[in-house]
């Protein structure tokens, strides 16, 4: 398995500000992903965080709004830029462990953002 | 891209009864179909999965079936218990490693 730590676990933010969420995995992983989960809703993939290159964004998500870094095989950050109340959500980091090839995703506990 | 549809959105059963959740997917290239359970305020966790070369898989009270031709897969929980109450998500993993989730089913098991 893989243990994923995310911080902050929650935050209250002002409109127009930006917040960076950090994700640390306890072992090297090939794939890291960022999902958004609005209350009572499903998990929507924001982007795949690629180590050493630009993230791959899903339709509806852009780099200027959600810049992502992945400097190594155990760490990634997601920034939510110029926040508005519509960005209030839970942001989940996930990873697929290297070499296992199972496809199983491990998730962090999530970062609950409230934008006022 | 892949689209995963999940039904029902809410399911209420009596303790001891069975629960069935159904999903369909659109991309024939998808080859891995996991099911995740998410308890309130917790992270999603894998409970069972199935690959496209297998038609059925069982793990104690939980089973999953896959019909590749129809692009359907289902989760079956037998002898439900109150602790099975949670939100269940089906998902499909494409080549390229993206996992796309269904909308979720909120399962209530009444004691």
Give yes or no for a contact between B47 and B33, defined as CB atoms under 8 angstroms apart: no
- Give pLDDT tens digits for A70-100: 999 999 999 999 999 999 999 999 998 755 5
Structure confidence at residue A99 (pLDDT): 56
- Record: contact B34-A31, CB cut-off 8 A: no
Joined tokens for residue B68: 């590749």
- Residue A30: pLDDT above 90? no
Structure confidence at residue A115 (pLDDT): 97
Least confident of A37-51, B2-16, B92-106: B92-106
Give yes or no for a contact between A29 and A37, defined as CB atoms under 8 angstroms apart: no
Structure confidence at residue B15 (pLDDT): 98
Q: Which residues contact B27 (CB under 8 A, 6 or more apart)?
A: B1, B2, B3, B92, B94
Task: For chain B, positions 75-104, list CB contacts with chain A under 8 A.
Answer: 89, 93, 97-104
Structure confidence at residue A101 (pLDDT): 58
């Amino acid at each position: 398995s893989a243990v994923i730590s995310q911080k902050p676990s929650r935050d209250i933010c002002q409109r127009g500000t930006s917040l960076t969420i950090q994700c640390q995995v306890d072992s090297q992983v090939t794939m890291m992903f960022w999902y958004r989960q609005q209350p009572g809703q499903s998990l929507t993939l924001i982007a795949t965080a690629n180590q050493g290159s630009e993230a791959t964004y899903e339709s509806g998500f852009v780099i200027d709004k959600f810049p992502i870094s992945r400097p190594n095989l155990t760490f990634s950050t997601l920034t939510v830029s110029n926040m508005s109340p519509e960005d209030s959500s839970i942001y989940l980091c996930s990873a697929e462990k290297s070499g296992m090839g199972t496809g199983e995703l491990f998730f962090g506990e999530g970062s609950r953002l409230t934008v006022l | 891209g892949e689209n995963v549809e999940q039904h029902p959105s809410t399911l209420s059963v009596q303790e001891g009864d069975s629960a069935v959740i159904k999903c369909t997917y659109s991309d024939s290239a998808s080859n891995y179909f996991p099911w995740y359970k998410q308890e309130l305020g917790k992270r999603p966790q894998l409970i069972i999965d199935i690959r496209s070369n297998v038609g059925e898989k069982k793990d104690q009270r939980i089973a999953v079936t896959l019909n590749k031709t129809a692009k359907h897969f289902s989760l079956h929980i037998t002898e439900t218990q109150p602790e099975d109450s949670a939100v269940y998500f089906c998902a499909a993993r494409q080549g390229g490693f993206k996992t796309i989730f269904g909308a979720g089913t909120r399962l209530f098991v009444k004691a």
